[in-house]
């Protein structure tokens, strides 16, 4: 998941984009904070806890539709945070009497409308991604490889979703099997090598890393389709086989060039130099 905060008027709303399900998840407390017009985060959090308790007693599905994901808190640490989709929040807003209710409903509806447009015309989503990468200084060659890899990824996740892989944890597990097999390291370790925390690993891959990731996922999907893999057990086998094909290609390239494909290189901005303390 990638974290991309967004502004509503002058308020920063934390949100996460889940690439597997192509869903935006918004911090519920951040929305509540806007609605009750309270600058103190803890007050908003207490308000949400009471509202959540009341809705739960009423048997509302709104609380059930909320999930918990890690987001950066005020202290800079990653903490589990209640999140919800724009659709759920549109209904939740109705439970909070506030002069900001209509403005934020219009804002959330706009977010949902943009997502629906992208679903109807995937090219819009690709255009948005291309613009973002261009702003971050990526080369056209890198952008093209990143977009090609994403298309390959989407076809694989579509296959999984249609063959009894439903939970996000299962998507993550299969993804890690593929990655571990082709690269020799887990997704978590690879991110650590690159000094990444909340960033999308693929956005910081080299061109070669993107190519081998795409090869592993393409191979996995074609093997799964050939074997008609269904469920976790069978798709795990396909994932390992697909990753192995890319691993063999990686080792062959490394033997010829003498250079490792998997690296700690990233596209993070240079760290700001620390000011020296005056003694």
Query: Given a cut of 70, is residue 27 above it in pLDDT?
Result: yes
**Strand blocks (E) in the chain:** 2-3, 6-8, 11-13, 15-18, 23-27, 67-72, 78-84
Is pLDDT at 13 greater than 80 in this prediction?
yes
Quick check: 154 pLDDT over 60?
yes
Higher confidence at residue 113 or residue 140?
A: 140
Q: At what angle do helices 28-35 and 101-120 cross, to 10 degrees?
A: 140
Residue 74 CA, distance from chain mean position: 21
Token pair listed for 143? 């952008």
Q: Where are the domains of the chain?
A: 2-120, 138-257
Confidence at 181, pLDDT banded by 50, 70, 90: very high
For the stretch 56-96, pLDDT in tens is: 888 888 888 888 988 887 777 788 999 998 888 888 888 88
Neighbours of 158 (CB within 10 A): 11
Helices marked H in 184-266: 187-193, 207-227, 231-257
> Architecture of 2-120 per CATH?
Roll (3.10)
State mean pLDDT over 255-276: 82
């Amino acid at each position: 998941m990638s974290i991309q905060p967004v502004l509503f008027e002058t308020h920063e709303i934390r949100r996460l984009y889940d690439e597997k399900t192509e869903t935006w998840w918004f911090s519920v407390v951040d929305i509540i904070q806007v609605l009750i017009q309270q600058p103190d985060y803890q007050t908003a959090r207490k308000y949400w806890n009471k509202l959540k308790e009341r809705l739960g007693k009423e048997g509302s599905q709104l609380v059930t539709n909320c999930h918990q994901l890690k987001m950066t808190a005020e202290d800079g640490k990653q903490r589990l945070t209640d999140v919800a989709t724009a659709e759920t929040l549109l209904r939740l807003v109705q439970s909070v009497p506030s002069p900001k209710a209509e403005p934020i409903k219009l804002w959330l509806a706009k977010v949902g409308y943009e997502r629906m447009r992208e679903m109807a015309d995937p090219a819009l989503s690709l255009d948005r991604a291309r613009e973002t990468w261009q702003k971050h200084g990526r080369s056209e060659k890198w952008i093209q490889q990143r977009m090609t890899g994403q298309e390959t990824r989407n076809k694989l996740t579509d296959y999984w979703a249609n063959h009894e892989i439903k939970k996000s944890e299962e998507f993550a597990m299969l993804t890690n099997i593929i990655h571990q097999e082709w690269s020799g390291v887990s997704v978590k370790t690879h991110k650590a090598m690159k000094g990444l925390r909340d960033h999308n690993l693929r956005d910081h891959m080299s061109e070669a890393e993107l190519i081998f990731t795409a090869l592993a996922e393409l191979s996995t999907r074609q093997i799964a389709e050939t074997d008609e893999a269904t469920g976790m057990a069978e798709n795990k086998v396909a994932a390992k086989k697909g990753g192995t094909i890319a691993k063999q290609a990686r080792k062959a390239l490394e033997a010829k060039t003498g250079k490792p494909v998997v690296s700690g290189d990233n596209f993070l901005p240079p760290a700001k130099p620390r000011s020296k303390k005056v003694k």
